[in-house]
Structure 1
Amino acid sequence: MSKVLVIGAGGVGSVAVHKMAMNPDIFSHITLASRRLISCEKVAESVKKLVGVDIDVAQVDADNVEETIALIQKVQPKLVVNLALPYQDLAIMDACLATKTDYLDTANYEPRDTAKFEYSWQWAYQERFKEAGIMALLGSGFDPGVTSVFASYIKKHLLDTIDTLDILDCNGGDHGQHFATNFNPEINIREVTAPSRHWLNGEWVEGPALSHKQVFDFDQVGEKNMYLMYHEELESLATHYPEIKRIRFWMTFGDAYLKHLEVLQNVGMTRIDPVIYNGQEIIPLQFLKAVLPEPSSLGSTTKGKTNIGDIATGQKDGQEKTVYIYQVCDHEDAYAETGNQAVSYTTGVPAMIGAAMMLTGAWKGEGVFNIEQFDPDPFMDMLNKHGLPWQVKELDAPLAF
């Protein structure tokens, strides 16, 4: 049994803490910290009501390394689970280095002033974490996270070699709003408006954002338009599985969402450079975030399902084969269990499972690791047991371009 410190009290943090509280044999003591103490207190009340477990709460500015160090020293956790904003990854990693505490996150670092996310900044901590004798597990969400574990499971059990890999992310949920994002609006819009990139024969191929789409029939959701995008697990998978010739990421969007996004872009509301308004400097995208619905508030109204998975082609026993491994999650079921919709649930549960892998010693090492570098089997087993059951199908043909 181990103490854990969770930083970040949004929807993902809420789900992770609820699921940790359901596993007291692994998580003996949970402290939830955030910039806003009231957010932590609301989650603590929900955990007490739904699970019957008391957790501690604390206030922390995760941008302030010294403040985070002080909290870690007070709580004395075996692991810090970073479910705050990606901008804060490096500051929290610095605090973990200073206190020699293991670290886990769900999304890679990106600077506030540039819409660019990549692993280089965090991979640069490899030697320092190794010298400190501690471990960092990067990207233990769903995508990145489960989709990367799916890839390692495919490589271990389903294909001898992987030639192509497509990651498909479908949210078939409807929250009843004209325009809202299912996770942090600022991060979501930065991702969606970035140029598309995919890995092909050892190099990156770039294109305009949302310029390539195809229709796919998702199990339990139906036919949806999905768009070629860049996502961070492409970088780590291309690094750790160099034999894969092509790696792509697809995400579904409805026409209404894209129309609203186009208008917001056209009028400058998605800009991340500061503008002067009434003598004050504001960032339009951050202001837009403030007026959009808080993602954690959408749980009670969201209906439908998510379907996220991997399609891989390759060789098995000398024969060409295409396999599809995926997970379907119901928004209403997720809300009933944790008070959060499925987008938060599908990220928060893998964060709990990754933490469990580290705390139980199922995954261990010294340095900085991506999730696909470990044995997928114990993680996959916990997915089935803790609310994210997966399934495998063999397909007649690979995904077309």
Structure 2
Amino acid sequence: MKDVLVIGAGGVSSVAVHKMAKNPGLFGKVTLASRRRFKCDAIAKSVQERFGVEIATAEVDADDVDATALLIDQVKPKLVVNLALPYQDLNLMEACLKTGVDYLDTANYEPRDEAKFEYGWQWAYQDRFKEAGLMALLGSGFDPGVTSVFATYIKKHLLDTIATLDILDCNGGDHGQHFATNFNPEINIREVTAPARHWENGDWVETPALSERQVFIFDQVGAKNMYLMYHEELESLVKHIPEIKRARFWMTFGEQYLTHLRVLQNVGMTSIEPVMYEGREIIPLQFLKAVLPEPSTLGETTKGKTNIGDIATGTKDGAEKTVYVYNVCDHEDAYAETGNQAVSYTTGVPAMIGAALMLNGQWRGTGVFNMEEFDPDPFMDMLNAHGLPWQVKELPEPLKF
């Protein structure tokens, strides 16, 4: 049985469902559910028009464990693909345990009332999933996800040991908006404004958000300012590849985006602390999300490319070597295929691939797993086959920053 239940109806979900429908040999019946069924219906209509495949839709509140479990019992999928919000990860894992179904997501859990994301909450489910004979795959997006698989591919094929790892995430696209985020605004802004952290010599080093900047020339994009940030795959990678002495994550931002973000911060609009407005409590960041452009609507106007990859320095046959594994994705190509821009595409395609590998048994186990715990080769092969081809370059020297 290869039936799946996909939870969430944003841009990433749209891409994943389009790609599932495009590959009927990999998937059986696909059911798409979210709190707003009309959004699922719109995705199903697009899938039908593009590929002639029918997608079932349903309505569910992913915060409600019992309601989600009831839907799972009705649909009877082999796998639940969580493409909803990170706040809902634990509830969806509970629903899977309650119904005896495998689980996959693309981003780790974070509480609504604190801008803190770490794997500890989900790793704590290890024994329960193992005892139930179920599998949970965490972070099957691009970063985390593909970047984690890139690291294990480097370890398996390109370097004998990895001393330093830098993950570089560049979005060179232009959507024509004064200020917009390319994925859920609330999650994006919480992530960007959090303190930066990187791993160095066995400990975490914390620095103020957006305080360290470097310029890097990205293939097919050009020179961009990138900023040191914290990203969840660092936590799992240094756990599962413990030889890494330094691990960092960098993301590019344009000056216009940062200027708007600073103003919004200065006036309190990025706060997650409740304030009273006309007799009721509101969260400023949630209100800001409501007035910003919906990321799933940006595909039609976005042009340019993304470039995301890993640069690792280590040894090969006793000599120091630096390698760079990366993918370039075109926004317009992504939109032509799925109706979504490349940021959604680069997350939705890996979600589909991770689901396929779980369903066909190539990635299998009982318990809670991160991406780098499995053989990278079948995943890397599927990236090439399903729209995210990757390249390998040997760099003449390690990064100088």
Please give the TM-score of this superposition, normalised by the length of structure 1.
Answer: 1.00
Aligned partner of 2:384 in structure 1 is 384
Please say if 1:215 is aligned against 2:246: no
Q: Deviations over 1:252-286 (max 9, x none)?
A: 00000000000000000000010000001000000
Q: Residue 353 of structure 1 corresponds to which residue in structure 2?
A: 353
Matched with 1:256 is: 256
What residue in structure 1 maps to residue 141 of structure 2?
141
Give CA deviations for 1:158-213 in whole Å, capped at 9, x if unaligned: 00000000000000000000000000000000000000000001100000000001
CA–CA distance in structure 2, aligned partners of residues 209 and 50 of structure 1: 42
Segments of 5+ residues of structure 1 without an aligned counterpart are none
Give RMSD over aligned pairs.
0.4
1:262-273 matches, within 5 Å, as: 262-273=262-273
Identity across the alignment (%): 80
Which residue of structure 2 lines up, in the alignment, with residue 77 of structure 1?
Answer: 77
Cα distance in 1 for residues equivalent to 2:371 and 2:338: 25
The residue identity in structure 1 corresponding to 2:193 is T
The aligned counterpart of 1:129 is: 129
> Which residue number corresponds to residue 107 of structure 1?
107
- 1:363 maps to 363
2:234 pairs with 1:237: no
Q: Aligned with 1:2: secondary structure?
A: coil
The Cα of 1:400 is off from its aligned counterpart by 2.1
Q: Which amino acid aligns with 1:185?
A: P
Distance 2:371 2:196 in 1: 23
SS at match of 1:191: helix
1:150 is matched with 150
Query: 2:316 — aligned with what?
Result: 316
Tell me how far 1:287 sits from its aligned partner.
0.1
* Structure 1 moving runs of 4+ over 3 Å: none
Residue identity in the other structure for 1:10? G
Q: CA deviation at 1:308?
A: 0.0
State how far apart, in whole Å, the 2-side matches of 1:30 and 1:106 are.
18
How many Å separate the matches in 2 of 1:109 and 1:400? 34
Alpha-carbon distance, 1:52 to partner: 1.1
Match of 1:95 in 2: 95
Distance 1:193 1:399 in 2: 25
Aligned to 1:247: 247
SS at match of 1:41: helix
- What is the alpha-carbon distance in structure 1 between the residues aligned to residue 320 and residue 290 of structure 2? 50
Deviation at 1:397, TM superposition (A): 1.1
Tell me what 1:117 maps to.
Answer: 117
Q: Does 1:56 align with 2:53?
A: no
Question: Shift of the alpha carbon at 1:302?
Answer: 0.1
How far apart are 1:362 and its partner, in Å?
A: 0.4
Distance 1:169 1:108 in 2: 18
Matched residue SS, 2:224? strand
CA distance in 2, matches of 1:346, 1:395: 24
Paired amino acid for 2:390:
W
Q: Does 1:373 align with 2:373?
A: yes
Equivalent position of 2:289 in the other structure:
289
Q: Note the alpha carbon deviations across 1:352-394, whole angstroms, 9 max, x for none.
A: 0000010000000000000000000000000000000000000
What is the DSSP-based 3-state SS (H/G/I as helix, E as strand, rest coil) of the residue aligned with 2:380? helix
Q: Distance in 2 between matches of 1:358 and 1:116?
A: 29
Find the counterpart in structure 2 of residue 182 from structure 1. 182
2:323 maps to amino acid: V
Corresponding position: 1:7 with 2:34: no
Aligned to 1:274: 274
- Paired residue secondary structure (1:28): coil
Secondary structure, aligned partner of 1:400: coil
Rounded to whole Å, the distance in 2 between the matches of 1:69 and 1:78 is 13
Paired residue type of 1:341: Q
Aligned residues: 401
Alignment of 1:21-60 (within 5 A): 21-60=21-60
2:212 counterpart letter in structure 1: H
TM value normalised by structure 2: 1.00
CA distance in 1 between partners of 2:288 and 2:370 (Å): 32
Describe the SS at the equivalent of 1:293: coil
Q: What's the offset of the Cα at 1:325?
A: 0.3
Shift of 1:313: 0.3
Counterpart secondary structure, 1:27: coil
Gaps of 5+ in 2: none
1:293-338 CA distances to partner (integer Å, 9 max, x unpaired)?
Answer: 0000000000000000000000000110000000000000000000
1: CA distance, partners of 2:45 / 2:399: 45
Cα distance between partner residues in 2 of 1:5 and 1:400: 46
Residue correspondence of structure 1 range 155-170 to structure 2 within 5 A:
155-170=155-170
